[in-house]
Amino acid sequence: MDHRDAEQPADGHSPDARAATGPLAGLRVVEMGQLLAGPFCGQMLGDMGADVVKIEDPAKGDPLRQWGRDLPRGESLWWSVVGRNKRSVTLNLREAEGQDLARRLIADADVVLENFRPGTMERWGLGYEALSELNPGLVMVRVSGFGQDGPYSQRAGYGAIGEAMGGLRYVVGDPSTPPSRMGISIGDTLAALFATIGALAALRERGTSGRGQIVDSAIYESVLGVMESLVPEWQVSGYQRERTGAVLPNVAPSNIYPTRDGQWLLIAANQDTVFVRLAEAIGQPGLATDPRYATHGARGERQAELDALIAEYTLGQDADPLHEALDLHGVPCGKIFRPADMLADPQYRARGSITEVDHPVLGPVSMQNVFPKLSRTTGTVRWPGPPLGQHTAEVLAEIGVDGPALAALRERGVA
């Protein structure tokens, strides 16, 4: 049986959607757009209990369904995370009928979320002015590379470009190499985080005014927003931050150190009292009173020398016993975790940082849980990213589209 035609409860709502108990339960979000910057915002809202209705193109759906290093049994593990807790509805938004159905879905929504190039929604008759006439309390979250206005607004705005323009790429990597990538799509993720904060703020304000508004989250500005004092350092004192690799310049010891068993241990003992404890832990208490290393300033001046001394010691130790010894001495340290470490770690297990979700094709799939945790109404992962169009019949039934009407829409390529 086609998953799109699966029998639904008599009230037209998914059992899982009804079971949402997070702090945003009862909130309706209509998600448009694709890939990461917008959909990650939708993921976070869904994680906290919102009913997220994701509209996808009937032909291929969100391209993220095909992304990832590996597609076991044709399934994207990335999609299983970003698409979780969402109901997938297929609508062709390039067709007038699809646009009309979208408007009907948005009529009683709290949030509409999109990350198309600015102007796309307006061309489809789905701009904020038109939608707010239909639904005055609507909050419209718009995520883009450069924002909704300004001379760059119509440029293609990928996350990598926003990372470069926002100042992050220049300071990431080793000073001997060109600017580096973070290893994850951090620009998109930051834009989604700021979009989520904006959505919640706009919803809070709506409680006072009764009116919705636009949340305009630009990738480059979201990156800029976490760049600490980068701009005033240059503007006031002419100081330009540079790539520093694993170290914090003039703050020592604070670096990653190799161990005998081929692992890396991050040790952060730059504070004077902590350095005393580190010197004791490695059997060289005299380092703490040696004028070359006794003060924060002195250690900063001899950073490379001190790092080499500590690395010489750690190379003679295995990572786990060394970690335990440093812990006993109250020295902040940590292994450089990979997924295998996360799945085995007692802290991860105790807090449920990783949850296991049943996937209809892959079986149990481990993924990050919902963060942050709330003491009374914490969010949950109720299901992984669903098959394309799994909830089309269910959701369209909620706006009065019956079986024959849906069949006709599918025949015309609208749903």
| Residues 402, 65, 366: CA angle, nearest 5 degrees | 105
Q: Alpha carbon 190 to chain centroid distance?
A: 7
Find out whether 390 and 382 touch, Cβ atoms under 8 Å. no
In sequence order, the 6+-apart residues with CB closer than 8 A to the CB of 272 are 294, 295, 296
Query: Tokens for 241?
Result: 């931050």
Find out whether 3 and 358 touch, Cβ atoms under 8 Å. no
- Please confirm, yes or no, whether 188 is among the known catalytic residues: yes
Among 150, 153, 161, 162, which Cα is nearest to 219's? Answer: 162
Within 10 angstroms of residue 297's Cβ, the number of other Cβ atoms is 9
Residues in the chain: 415
Residue in 188, 261, 358, 402 annotated catalytic: 188
Query: Tokens for 248?
Result: 């914090």
Which sequence positions are flagged as catalytic? Answer: 188
